[in-house]
Amino acid sequence: MADADLVVVGGGHAGCEAAAAAARLGVSVILVTLHQSTMAQMPCNPAIGGIGKGHLVAEVDALGGLQGWAADRAGIQFRVLNRSRGPAVWGPRAQCDKVVYSRLLRRVVGGLRGVTVVEAEVGDLVVDGGRVRGVILGGGRLLRADAVILTTGTFLGGVLHTGALRRPGGRLGEQPSSTLGSALAARGIELRRYKTGTPPRLSRQSLDLEKLEIQEGDADPRPFSWRSRGVENRSVCWLTRTPRKVQKIIAGNIHRSPLFSGTIEGVGPRYCPSIEDKVVRFPHHERHTVFLEPEGLDSDSIYVNGLSTSLPTDVQDDVIHSIPGLESAAVLQYGYAVEYDVVAPGQVAANLESRALHGLFFAGQLLGTSGYEEAAGLGLLAGVNAAQGLRGARPLAPAREEAYLGVLVDDVTGRDHREPYRMFTSRAEHRLVLGVDSARERLMEHGHRLGLVSERAFHVERERWRRRETARAALEETRLNPDAATRSAVRRAAAIDLTTPSSWAQILRRQDVDAEAVAAGLGAFDGLSAEDRRIVIGRLRYDGYLARHERERQRLHRLRHIPIPGDLDPGGVPGLSREVVEAMARDQPRTLADAERLPGMTPAALAIIAGALSRRGGFG
């Protein structure tokens, strides 16, 4: 008799989304966490979103996940990054109250029907005939279940480093998970060592605010979630820059950093370098920006963004006190690095299930990612797919051209990575169609179908899309003839001379027209919110580019529906390299899209396979 349908191991951002999604799909869930009090913690920066990451939050929200809603509720400052660029790369970000955020999620997830939270360590899996059947807890207690999702974060074999000081730990003050790693290895799952770090925390009272530059939130703060009505800025952030002296301080102590002394073997993220990394790698950059972010409204703790380090504490003191505004700063917590085990790529299928053990799913940092948003996205998908698997239903696996979530899953499961994986907009080939403002149009239908998005919310959104479509059609249809009256009207409205008959859509597409200002006076936009108006204009301006993407999207869509018959002998297809033939024979892809994910597969090889299939008469 099973204790639950599903056991989720870990209560972080991945574990919470996984448990919540699965439970809402009607599956009984036991969530096992080392400490109930640290569920959904933000052990690093007190913020959700950003460039690429904000896109993930929007997609998780469109699918009915919790992260965006929790960030709206716990948010104390809201900013859209990249505002000077085009809307596709706008990255909404919310500075959050850590305590509020963690408490919110803990309460919501723990209170969901079908979720039981158990405080324990998981020591091993129960496996029977290639299928996972549950977990064994630290004390030897058995939890039987038909599926297990592992979201161990930085806890698997976790080791903390501060200078030469080295101690086991998943986060500061928390013991790591020690036996599960070797249990996984014993079951043939290959692990790999990664490293990440976090900067010091300072006492707000000890900062000289006069010397710091204030960073305000947006004048029109906007929520992430369709569940939220509105949000407001309740705090500011500050910024300062490291002085030249910092280079000297670090250079004189570089041998004491475990990153450079060789104590840390794990591979750290290049995009989030420690201050010692930055000084060594960019010696010509004399100053590095440091952002000071409050960790909560009532908290005295300030997160020092940009000063991630694992130098010894005395050096950290020297560095901090050399920075303008931080001369007499009191350190509440020193920066440290953590090394941990992740599942090496190539062992997990697109539904996040282990290729070796049926019913075993992975999500979050264990898959080699970094960041709360990546974790939440993977957690949501793992939760949905574990539940779908238990019900014998189709998995949710968005494609690369459909969602950042698709890019994320494809990259961490199908491609090799050598450092913690963080989302960037540059990872998405179809960036222009994957803007935050289209997340709901792309994904909400899936959330609704699964039952994670309410009928009412879906209806409200659909109405918005319809109004935008109507406005757009009106702009395309209105023809303006360059007669004297129209010309002067257009000159007044758009500051351009109309010489040929045009539609308003054509005029708004022009880069020399201030489209926002013109659109405000157009009847086509009556009844549309300012945000919807902006979305319509943004898409007009991307039109020429979207046509190319649409062709590519259709091509990929076709690939996904071209089956590769089981009797196709890859060795008999001329022009394929031995590596591709071997990968095809080993992994037996069932569609061309599966074949595309094989290691060693090139677009040229894929074209050859497509050609071979088309000549067989498989598709036209």
Partner 1 sequence: MATASSSGLSSDLAGGADTIVARATPAGRGALAMIRISGSAAAEIAGVVCPAADFSSGWRASLAALLDSTGRVLDHGVVIPYPAPRSYTGEDMFEVTVHGAPYLVEGLIDACVTAGARRAQPGEFTRRAVANGKLDLVQAEAIRDLVAAETAWQLRNAREQLAGALSEAFGGLRKELVDLLAALEASLDYEAQGVEVPQEDLAEKIASCRGAVGRLVSTAGAGQRIRDGAGVVILGPPNAGKSTLFNLLCGTERAIVSPHPGTTRDVIEAEIDIDGVRMVLRDTAGLRAEGDRVESEGHRRAVGAAAAADLVILMWPLGGARGEDPPDAPSGVAVIPVRSKADLGDHETAPAGWLAVSCHTGQGIDRLRARLAEAVAGEISDLGGAVAIAARHRRSLECAARDLDGCDPRHPELATEHVRWAVRSVDELIGDICTEDVLDAIYRDFCVGK
Q: Which residues bind partner 1 (CB under 8 A)?
A: 50-52, 81-82, 85-86, 88-89, 91, 93, 271-272, 288-289, 291, 306, 424-426, 429, 431-432, 511, 542, 545, 548, 565, 567-569, 571-578, 580, 602-605, 607-608, 610-612, 614-616
Identity of the residue, 286 or 469, whose beta carbon is nearer to partner 1 in the bound complex: 286
Identity of the residue, 196 or 354, whose beta carbon is nearer to partner 1 in the bound complex: 196
Q: How many residues does the chain have?
A: 620
Q: Exposed, middle or buried: residue 227 (CB in 10 Å: 0-12, 13-18, 19+)?
A: middle
Identity of the residue, 395 or 618, whose beta carbon is nearer to partner 1 in the bound complex: 618
d(CA 263, CA 163): 9
Identity of the residue, 130 or 571, whose beta carbon is nearer to partner 1 in the bound complex: 571
Identity of the residue, 361 or 372, whose beta carbon is nearer to partner 1 in the bound complex: 372
Identity of the residue, 152 or 438, whose beta carbon is nearer to partner 1 in the bound complex: 438
Q: Which of 428, 431, 411, 429 is nearest to 370 (CA)?
A: 411
Q: Write the single-letter amino acid at 6.
A: L
Identity of the residue, 572 or 620, whose beta carbon is nearer to partner 1 in the bound complex: 572
d(CA 545, CA 429): 12
**Rounded to the nearest whole angstrom, what is the least distance from the CB of residue 54 to partner 1 in the complex?**
10
d(CA 70, CA 234): 16
**Rounded to the nearest whole angstrom, what is the least distance from the CB of residue 552 to partner 1 in the complex?**
10
Instruction: Please give the torsion angle defined by the CA atoms of residues 180, 392, 17 and 596, in that order, rounded to the nearest 10 degrees.
Output: 80
d(CA 3, CA 293): 43
Residue 162 phi/psi, 5-degree rounding, is -135, 110
Identity of the residue, 259 or 434, whose beta carbon is nearer to partner 1 in the bound complex: 434
**Rounded to the nearest whole angstrom, what is the least distance from the CB of residue 579 to partner 1 in the complex?**
9
Contact 201, 179 (CB under 8 A): no
Identity of the residue, 140 or 565, whose beta carbon is nearer to partner 1 in the bound complex: 565
Identity of the residue, 101 or 291, whose beta carbon is nearer to partner 1 in the bound complex: 291
d(CA 516, CA 522): 10
**Rounded to the nearest whole angstrom, what is the least distance from the CB of residue 508 to partner 1 in the complex?**
15
CA distances from 267 to 44, 262, 316, 421, 435 (A): 18, 11, 22, 11, 31
**Rounded to the nearest whole angstrom, what is the least distance from the CB of residue 605 to partner 1 in the complex?**
7
Helix (H, G, I), strand (E, B) or coil at 53: helix
Q: Which of 417, 396, 397 is nearest to 343 (CA)?
A: 417
**Rounded to the nearest whole angstrom, what is the least distance from the CB of residue 373 to partner 1 in the complex?**
13
**Rounded to the nearest whole angstrom, what is the least distance from the CB of residue 515 to partner 1 in the complex?**
13
Identity of the residue, 501 or 575, whose beta carbon is nearer to partner 1 in the bound complex: 575
**Rounded to the nearest whole angstrom, what is the least distance from the CB of residue 577 to partner 1 in the complex?**
5
Identity of the residue, 203 or 602, whose beta carbon is nearer to partner 1 in the bound complex: 602
Residue 330 parent element (H or E): none
Tokens of 279: 């000084």
Identity of the residue, 180 or 428, whose beta carbon is nearer to partner 1 in the bound complex: 428
d(CA 318, CA 129): 57
In eight-state DSSP terms, residue 174 is B
**Rounded to the nearest whole angstrom, what is the least distance from the CB of residue 253 to partner 1 in the complex?**
24
Residue 148 parent element (H or E): strand 147-150
**Rounded to the nearest whole angstrom, what is the least distance from the CB of residue 241 to partner 1 in the complex?**
9
d(CA 528, CA 115): 41
Q: Which of 468, 470, 439 is nearest to 453 (CA)?
A: 439
Identity of the residue, 527 or 600, whose beta carbon is nearer to partner 1 in the bound complex: 600
d(CA 352, CA 354): 7
Helix (H, G, I), strand (E, B) or coil at 544: helix
Report residue 250 CA to chain centroid gap.
32
End-to-end alpha-carbon separation of the chain, Å? 51
**Rounded to the nearest whole angstrom, what is the least distance from the CB of residue 581 to partner 1 in the complex?**
8
Residue 102 parent element (H or E): helix 98-111
* Contacts by residues 260-266 (CB-CB < 8 Å, ≥ 24 positions apart): 261/164, 263/161, 263/164, 263/166, 264/161, 264/195, 264/310, 264/337, 264/339, 265/193, 265/339, 266/193, 266/194, 266/195, 266/339, 266/340
**Rounded to the nearest whole angstrom, what is the least distance from the CB of residue 274 to partner 1 in the complex?**
13
Contact 72, 223 (CB under 8 A): yes
Residue 428 phi/psi, 5-degree rounding, is -95, 110
Strands 122-128 and 131-137: antiparallel
**Rounded to the nearest whole angstrom, what is the least distance from the CB of residue 205 to partner 1 in the complex?**
26
Identity of the residue, 50 or 221, whose beta carbon is nearer to partner 1 in the bound complex: 50
**Rounded to the nearest whole angstrom, what is the least distance from the CB of residue 571 to partner 1 in the complex?**
5
Residue 47 parent element (H or E): strand 47-49
**Rounded to the nearest whole angstrom, what is the least distance from the CB of residue 216 to partner 1 in the complex?**
16
